[in-house]
Structure 1
Amino acid sequence: MLRKYVVLLGTIAAIALPMASASAQTALKWAHVYETSEPFHTESVWAAEEIKKRTDGRYAIDVFPASQLGKEADINQGLTLGTVDIIISGSSFAAREFPPIGVTYFPFTFRDADHLLAYTKSDKYKELTGGYEEASGHHITATTYYGTRHTTSNRPIEKCADMQGLKIRVPDVPAYLAMPRACGANTAPIAFAEVYLALQQGTVEAQENPLTTIDAKKFYEVQKHIILTGHIVDHLNTIVSQSRWSQLSDEDKAIFTEVMQEAAARATKIIVDREKALVETFKERGLTVTEVDRADFEKNVMEKVTFEEFGYRKEDWEAIRAVK
């Protein structure tokens, strides 16, 4: 009888062990608005698997691309509501919680991708991301280079004044309006999905985006000129919700941070490599690719736009510009 009892206990323990292991696994949701073909998705999937591996399977992360869990505003709100655990999103949305972090979108803040990456290792980056965390509770683990924003148009542009009266589509984000408006352009906040048709039908005659986006969305089919204004070095943040971050052990926080920064570096390299090749690709497609007098554009922005109107601090911008 005793032996049967011992065997029974052993059987129960054998069944309970895998059940306990299964219950110890934590399921997380990682959301973004980008397509599955883009590195922001492919490297997020890599990071999800890598975190699972490095934590011995304690975290199972599902990545939801292409606005499956909502538009960018929705997933940012989802961090607070608890409907998502991790997101990739631009600083313009983080600025809704802490306006100073949006200064990184002010025109001509960064020289290039390398300058952006140097900033992410600076004290000013720690200060601004820390300010965002204090205001929102959410934690920024990594920053990815999204691409340098350039202008496409059906008229030639070499200097700021050439944009006078130009009908240009710009995202409905305050800092994105700064350069076109300083140059006298008429901005239109057309939904991103409708930009191609708007260009094709002449509703607008220009738009601005990174070269990789211009290529992916085929804007080159309905535009004659690519103008290398390079007015914003764009980027995305990887953000973990307050509720999830607070539940992680110090060891797991280190793993999440390390993996997410590796994923950001991998995605950044892909974007940089693609951008280098695309200038020649556009020329081969018959488009005119023009270098502009960037100093002229920057001069106009600085004379006609203030940091204060966006809630930014000029000293933050100057500190970022000084990063080597």
Structure 2
Amino acid sequence: MLRKYAVLFGTIAAIAMPMASASAQTALKWAHVYETSEPFHTESVWAAEEIKKRTDGRYTVDVFPASQLGKEADINQGLTLGTVDIIISGSSFAAREYPRIGVTYYPYIFRDADHLLAYAKSDIYKELTAGYEEASGHHIVATTYYGTRHATANKPLEKCADMQGLKIRVPDVPAYLAMPRACGANTAPIAFAEVYLALQQGTVEAQENPLTTIEAKKFYEVQTHINLTGHIVDHLNTIVSQTRWSQLSDEDKAIFTEVMQEAAARATEKIVAREQELVQEFKDKGLTVVESDTADFEKNVLEKATFEEFGYEKADWEAIRAVK
């Protein structure tokens, strides 16, 4: 009888061991609002596979694109609610928790994508992301170049004064409004999904977005001029929730950081390459591509849009501008 019990307990233990091993695997949710064809998604999927591989399967990551887990405001809230572990989101949302970090959207703060990437390795980046983490609890792991924003219209916008009275759609984010308003344009916060129709019907006369977005949303079909105003070098942050980050070992934190920063660099490289191709492609489609006088635009912004009105600090702007 004792022998039978010994065999029985041995069998139970053998069954329990793989179950315990399986339960050690942690499934994470990674959410964003971008389409499956965009580098933000394809590189998130790559990162998910790398995290599983480099942690020997201890972590699996499911990526939810195209607002499947909610709009950008929802997934930011989801970090706190625990409904999502990792998100990709703009600094405008981070600025709701920590206004200082929003200075990165101030017009002409970054020279180009290389300057943005240099900033992401700088002391001022560490200071601003640490401030966000202290305010929100969540950890910014990486920053990806989103694209440089340019203005499209049915006329050339060579200088700031050319925007006087222009009806332009701009996202309802304070820093995005700075350049158009400094140039005397009339801004309208039309929902992104309705911009094409608004341009087509003349509700607004212009809009501003990166070249990749102008292509993806086919704004070139309802605008004749692409004006290379380059007013904002836009970017996205990869953020891990406070709960999840605090549960990671130092070893796993290093793995997550390495993978997510590699993914950000890979996506950035693809976006930069695509932007370079698009200038010629738009010309081939018959659009007029205008080399706007960015120095004139920048001068007007600095004179007419103060840092204080947006809750930013000039010292932060100066520190970022000084990054080489």
The two structures have a TM-score, normalised by structure 2, of: 0.98
Query: For 1:96, what is the secondary structure of its paired residue?
Result: helix
Query: Residues of 2 paired with 1:296 and 1:157: CA distance?
Result: 11
Structure 1 position 86, deviation (Å): 0.6
Secondary structure at the residue paired with 2:238?
strand
Deviation at 1:89, TM superposition (A): 0.2
State the match for 1:319 in structure 2. Answer: 319
Equivalence for 2:195: 195
- Structure 1 distance, partners of 2:3, 2:284, is 82
Aligned pairs, how many? 324
* Residue 292 of structure 2: aligned partner: 292
| Residue matched to 2:273 | 273
Q: Percent identity?
A: 88
Of stretches 96-105 and 56-65 in structure 1, the one that deviates more from structure 2 is: 56-65
* Cα distance per residue 1:194-235 (max 9 Å; x no partner): 001111111111000000000011100000000000000000
1:302 and 2:302 are equivalent in the alignment: yes
Which residue of structure 1 lines up, in the alignment, with residue 16 of structure 2?
16
Distance, in Å, in 2 between the alignment partners of 1:150 and 1:3 is 79
Structure 2 partner of 1:243: 243
Q: Counterpart of 1:115? A: 115
The aligned counterpart of 1:233 is 233
Tell me which residue corresponds to 1:128: 128
Report the CA distance between 1:2 and its aligned residue.
Answer: 4.7
Match of 2:148, SS state, is strand
Q: Where does residue 176 of structure 1 map in the other structure? A: 176
C-alpha displacement of 1:12? 1.7
1:292-324 CA distance string (max 9 Å, x none): 111100010001000011110001001100100
- For the residues of structure 2 that align with 1:128 and 1:243, how far apart are their CA atoms? 20
Matches of 1:83 and 1:246 in 2, distance apart? Answer: 16
Residue 84 of structure 1 aligns with which residue? 84
Which residue in the other structure is 2:7 paired with? 7
Give me the whole-angstrom Cα distance separating, in 2, the residues matched to 1:37 and 1:13. Answer: 47
Distance (whole Å) between structure 1 residues aligned to residue 58 and residue 15 of structure 2: 19
For 1:273 and 1:219, the matched residues in 2 are separated by 20
> For residues 143 and 66 of structure 2, what CA distance do their matches in structure 1 show?
19
Post-superposition offset of 1:7: 3.2
Match of 1:199, as an amino acid? Answer: L
Secondary structure in 1 matching 2:145: strand
Secondary structure of residue in 2 paired with 1:30: strand
Q: Which residue of 2 aligns with 1:42?
A: 42
What is the aligned partner in structure 1 of residue 30 from structure 2?
30
* Cα distance between partner residues in 2 of 1:156 and 1:276: 20
Paired residue type of 2:131: G
Equivalent-residue separation in structure 1 for 2:43 and 2:98 (angstroms): 27
SS at match of 1:11: helix
In the TM superposition, what whole-angstrom CA distance separates every residue of 1:17-74 from its partner, at most 9, and x where no partner exists?
2211111111111111101111101111111111111111111211111111111111
Cα distance in structure 2, aligned partners of 1:303 and 1:92: 23
Query: How far apart in 2 are the matches of 1:21 and 1:75?
Result: 31
Where in structure 2 are the equivalents of 1:132-211 lying within 5 Å? 132-211=132-211
SS in 1 for 2:96: coil
Return the alpha-carbon distance in structure 2 between the equivalents of residues 10 and 252 of structure 1: 34
- Taking the aligned partners of 1:140 and 1:225, their CA distance within structure 2 comes to 37
Equivalent residue number for residue 102 of structure 1: 102
How many Å separate the matches in 2 of 1:227 and 1:10?
Answer: 74
Counterpart CA distance in 2 for 1:6 and 1:280 is 77
- One-letter code aligned to 1:149: R
Q: Are residues 1:253 and 2:234 paired?
A: no
RMSD of the TM alignment (CA)? 0.9
Secondary structure of 2:97's aligned partner: coil
In structure 2, C-alpha distance between the alignment counterparts of 1:291 and 1:80, rounded to whole Å? 44
Residue 8 of structure 1 and its aligned partner are, at CA, apart by 2.5
TM-superposed CA distance for 1:3, in Å, is 4.4
